[in-house]
């Protein structure tokens, strides 16, 4: 399927979703609708085990909401929150490859991803209050979960734009990489994740998300359910067999 605002590539077990409205890769309603459809594709594609989200060009990951699409603001707000939550709840790890600035809704997209890898020259922040509005695509909820309540409030209320080094120091991003090595290291990280047992990876993601969203009791209930399910899988047999045979396991997701 051809898309107007994004590019989807599948490289082995890795799906690469590129926001394709350079230089800012700002998000409008059309982009949200296309990302929504792509996420359904990636969710149900058993050949894809890891997803990378990045921005076209070298300047920006995403500057967030495209203010020129203000006519659709009533639709964009709920749609943005829905789609970023869909990223958060995908059954496969999602890596934000932050190759340039990530502000506003672009930062919120990165927060919704499982991991955040950032080029060392980029900046990131929830900058909505500069416009007299607030983060509306999950930023007020995900930022505190990642960096803690007090630090999140400082970043949001002051619209701070963090350098990559500052973001790494507070745990907002997981790795900071030089431009010449950036995409290589992103793909190396994705390839390592893709070697992990897919059923167990999805089980962990579901259990962790349930616990964070619904509390310890709900999370441990899901953990027990998933533990029983994956213990009966072919991947579990392969994992134990490979252990006793002293070789690397070859997981198939069955």
Catalytic residue among 33, 108, 223, 248: 108
Tokens representing residue 55 in the block: 């921005």
Tokens representing residue 93 in the block: 């790890």
Sheet arrangement for strand 175-177: 6-11, 14-19, 50-55, 94-98, 115-119, 175-177
- Residue 21 · residue 6 · CB < 8 Å: no
Give, as one character, the DSSP assignment of residue 65.
B
Catalytic residue among 34, 43, 128, 254: 128
Tokens representing residue 50 in the block: 């890891």
Cα(98)–Cα(184) distance, rounded to whole angstroms? 13
Active site residue 128: yes
Give, as one character, the DSSP assignment of residue 125.
E
Q: Which residues are catalytic?
A: 108, 128
């Amino acid at each position: 399927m051809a898309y107007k605002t994004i590019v989807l590539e599948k490289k082995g077990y890795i799906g690469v979703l590129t926001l394709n409205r350079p230089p800012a890769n700002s998000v409008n309603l059309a982009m949200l609708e296309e990302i929504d459809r792509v996420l359904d594709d990636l969710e149900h594609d058993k050949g894809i085990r890891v997803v990378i989200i990045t921005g076209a060009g070298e300047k920006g990951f995403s500057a967030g909401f495209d203010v020129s699409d203000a006519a659709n603001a009533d639709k964009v707000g709920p749609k943005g929150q829905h789609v970023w939550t869909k990223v958060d709840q995908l059954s496969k790890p999602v890596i934000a490859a932050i190759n340039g600035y990530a502000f506003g809704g672009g930062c919120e997209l990165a927060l919704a991803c499982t991991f955040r890898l950032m080029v060392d020259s980029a900046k990131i922040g929830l900058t909505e209050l500069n416009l007299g509005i607030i983060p509306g695509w999950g930023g007020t909820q995900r930022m505190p979960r990642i960096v803690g309540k007090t630090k999140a409030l400082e970043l949001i209320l002051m619209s701070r734009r963090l350098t990559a080094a500052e973001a790494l120091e507070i745990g907002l991003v997981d790795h900071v990489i030089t431009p010449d090595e950036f995409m290589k290291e992103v793909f190396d990280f994705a390839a390592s994740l893709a070697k992990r047992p897919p059923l167990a990876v999805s089980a962990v993601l579901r259990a962790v998300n349930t616990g964070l969203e619904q509390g310890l009791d709900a999370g441990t209930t899901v953990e027990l359910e998933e533990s029983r399910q994956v213990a009966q899988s072919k991947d579990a047999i392969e994992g134990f067999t490979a252990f006793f045979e002293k070789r690397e396991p070859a997981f198939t997701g069955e």
